[in-house]
Amino acid sequence: MEINWSVIAIMALAIFNGLITSILLETVILSKQFGLGNAFRTVIGMSFISMVAMDSAMNVIDVFFTGGAVLTW
């Protein structure tokens, strides 16, 4: 069963999932040293831009080498 989403929608979903996962994981790891509130602010302040850049670069490479992405079930 193929899900008919555009390449942009699939890549936006991938970026969103990557950001949420990274934010949660890094917040949990840093909360052991900084406390939950400070850990979350640190993650958003320092890591968010690099996470967006990394996920965007990954998607550009996917489009360049494979022509896009397809969701299958």
Residues 6+ apart with CB under 8 A from 1: 72, 73
Say whether pTM exceeds 0.95: no
- pLDDT value for 1: 65
pLDDT, one tens digit for every residue, the chain (73 residues): 667 888 888 888 888 988 899 899 999 999 999 999 999 999 998 878 888 888 888 888 888 888 877 767 6
- pLDDT value for 26: 92
Tokens representing 4 are: 């008919």
3-state secondary structure of 45: helix
